[in-house]
Amino acid sequence: METVTGIGGVFFRAKNPDALSRWYTDHLGISPIPTDDDMQPWLPEGGPTAFAPFPNDTDYFGRAEQMWMINFRVRDLAKMVGQLRAAKIDVTTDETPYPHGRFARLYDPEGNPIELWEPNRSVDTR
């Protein structure tokens, strides 16, 4: 059976796409979609990716009308959280010890939830 090799993009509606794209670039280092041949797309590092539909009534994403949440892998959660807080972005660190890593939560300027994940060394990050 042929299978997909990874996520090719994350697409979602935004009230102000240009401003939101700049926020993701400035604070998380995610390049916007190239508009010409001189621009490079965001090239994420290989590693584990969770794909998990949740029950429709979950409160894990925040607001009841929130239909999605993105989780970004990071190498050093403490450094990323410090960087975001220095930029006056509210970040909540989950202090629960999980067997697969550490997590933090923040919201982009339009209220979309973002989860940051630092995998444990035992998780295959290739």
Give burial (CB, 10 Å; 0-12/13-18/19+) of 56.
exposed
Q: Say if 83 falls within a structural domain.
A: yes
Q: How many domains does the chain have?
A: 1
Containing domain of residue 102, as a range? 22-31+65-126
Per-residue pLDDT band for 122 (boundaries 50, 70, 90) equals low
pLDDT tens-digit series, residues 55-101: 999 988 888 888 889 999 999 999 999 999 999 999 999 999 899 89
- Quick: pLDDT tens for 97-113: 899 899 999 999 999 99
Whole-model pTM: value is 0.85
**Do 7 and 49 contact (CB within 8 A), yes or no?**
yes
Give domain status of residue 8, yes or no: no
Q: Is residue 95 part of a domain?
A: yes
Is 86 contained in some domain? yes
Q: How many CB atoms lie within 10 A of CB 118?
A: 19
- Domain with 74 in it: what CATH number? 3.10.180.10
- SS3 state of residue 17: helix
Please indicate, yes or no, if residue 124 is contained in any of the structural domains: yes
